[in-house]
Every structure is written in structure tokens, then in C-alpha cells.
Amino acid sequence: MSVKDYLIERMAIGTIHMTLVDPDKQDTELAAEVAVNAERMGTDAIMIGGSTDVNQNNLDQTAAAIKRAVGIPVIYFPSGAHAISMHCDALYFMSMLNSRDVRMVIREQAMAAPVVKKLGIEPVSMGYILVEPGMKVGEVGQADLVARDDPMSALGYALAAEFLGMDLVYLEAGSGADQPVPAEMISTVKSVLSVPLIVGGGIRTPEAAAAAKQAGADAVVTGTLVEKDGYHQELESVIEAIKS
């Protein structure tokens, strides 16, 4: 089964959880350990990526170690064409729709596409929409951030992604955001969108995860949560809130 079909099948049953691992934040052994723990707790896929400091070397090593350790899909969450790993099952072939930089909208993708084709990695298309505060990814991506009180702008970008034929839409507040994407924005987008909606950035508590789910998120992504020691209980409670 393709990774896209796997995700769509799971999301049709209920909200899923994906664990984001940044290859720059720990050694490969620890990255694999985090992935194994997350899988055991019920996460549905491992995403690998980071806004800065991901290179071919740390990506390949992390992806290979995680791939060896888990049975769930390993999906690359790229920040550009500079690093692509054949050790991932798929990659989000994504466009930052509200970037002012054409490189983030389509040029990096045009550079990456022949490599993706050659390596035979499954591309899963995704419209990526940056919401305030946007954090590092909003900054390096030169995003015209969607204001937190402007759900209609998010709706416009999301629907445009669907009409352009993208498989998924991702509302991103940015890794480490002090506040996640507002529930009202999630529900506004969800009310018109026919493709699955992924939400991430700043979700660290079961309450925040449950709020995203209640508002209509088909998938919730957490990353920073697993970067601190003793993350086990928090990750478990976040996954439980999403699955219950």
C-alpha cells in the first residue's frame, strides 16, 4: 500500500498522530529510540525534518536508523531540495503556499522532482500554510503569515491547494510556537475542505491535541515534545487524547 493510501485510510477512521524527528537534534541512536517509543504509544507515522541544519548526511543516517527500527511509514518533511533520502518511504512534496519566495513555492520542488523520480520515493503532495507565529520555518520560508484572527485567509489557501490537486493541507504554526493554530481556524478550514487537514506547531499538551482534533484536524503533528528528556508520559498522553 502506498503511504498516501495508508494515511488516507487511517484518517478516514479517526484523527491520527505523527511524530516529527529533527535529524539535527539528537544522534541517530536516540532518534531511532524516540521513533520506537512513539510507535509503541500509537503514533501513526514518523516524519523527519527541520527548518535548518538538515543535510544529506544527518538525514540519511537518521532515516536509515529509524526505518530499521519501526514498521510504520517514515516520511521526509523537507525544507528544500538540498537533501533527499532514499531511506524514507515517502516525502511530502510540499509547497509553502503563502511564501513570498518563489523558491519555496515551486523552484526547490522543480530541482527535487527529478531526484525523487530517480530514487523512486513516493511523493505525497501537500499545500503548506504558515500561520502566526510561524517561528523559524516562517522566517526562513519568508512566509506572509496568516494572522491568527484571519481564518478566511487560511481557508482560501487551503481550498486553493485542494483545487490545485494537492492530496493534503498542513496548517503550521511553526515548531515551538507558544500557541498552536487556533481551533476556530481549523474548523473554518475543515468546513469546506475535502482533502485531509494536518495541523502542527506548538501542540504540547493533551488539551491542545484534543482541541485540534475536536476542531476537525485529521492529523496532529508534534515535534518539540520528544526533544526533551522524560518525554514519554507527555507523548503518551498527547497520543491518547488524539486517539480517544
Candidates 95, 201, 213, 218; binder of ligand 1GP (CB under 6 A) is: 201
Residue whose C-alpha is closest to residue 85's, from 109, 37, 49: 49
Q: Which is nearer to ligand 1GP, 156 or 176 (CB)?
A: 176
Q: What's the CA gap between 79 and 139, in Å, rounded? A: 12
Q: Which is nearer to ligand 1GP, 87 or 204 (CB)?
A: 204
CB of 21 to ligand 1GP, least distance (A): 10
Candidates 70, 222, 238, 242; binder of ligand 1GP (CB under 6 A) is: 222
Q: Which is nearer to ligand 1GP, 20 or 63 (CB)?
A: 20
**In the numeric block, which cell numbers belong to residue 135?**
517561528
Phi, psi for residue 31 in degrees, rounded to 5: -60, -45
Q: Which is nearer to ligand 1GP, 125 or 163 (CB)?
A: 125
Q: Quick one: the chain helix, strand, coil %, rounded to 5?
A: 45, 20, 35
Alpha carbon distances (Å) from 223 to 7, 35, 36, 113, 228 = 18, 11, 15, 26, 10
Determine which helix (DSSP H) or strand (DSSP E) holds 120, and give its type and residue range.
none
Number of residues interacting with ligand 1GP: please give it, by CB under 6 A.
Answer: 14
Stretch that binds ligand 1GP, among 108-116, 149-157, 161-169, 217-225 (CB under 6 A): 217-225
Candidates 3, 221, 235, 242; binder of ligand 1GP (CB under 6 A) is: 221
CB of 30 to ligand 1GP, least distance (A): 16
Residue whose C-alpha is closest to residue 92's, from 116, 70, 110: 116
Candidates 44, 60, 132, 172; binder of ligand 1GP (CB under 6 A) is: 172
Q: Which is nearer to ligand 1GP, 119 or 130 (CB)?
A: 130
By the 8 A CB rule, do 94 and 128 touch?
yes
Candidates 28, 43, 95, 175; binder of ligand 1GP (CB under 6 A) is: 175
CB of 132 to ligand 1GP, least distance (A): 14
- Nearest residue by C-beta to ligand 1GP? 200
Candidates 11, 186, 200, 208; binder of ligand 1GP (CB under 6 A) is: 200
Angle at 19 between CA 196 and CA 232, to 5 degrees: 135
3 state SS for 199-234: EECCCCCHHHHHHHHHHCCCEEEECHHHHCCCCHHH
Burial class (CB in 10 A: 0-12, 13-18, 19+), 7: buried
User: Interface residues for ligand 1GP in 180-199 (CB under 6 A)?
Assistant: none
Q: Should residue 127 be labelled a site residue for ligand 1GP when binding is judged by CB under 6 A?
A: no
Alpha carbon distances (Å) from 88 to 60, 154, 225 = 9, 30, 22
Name the site residues for ligand 1GP (rule: CB under 6 A): 20, 172, 175-177, 200-203, 221-225
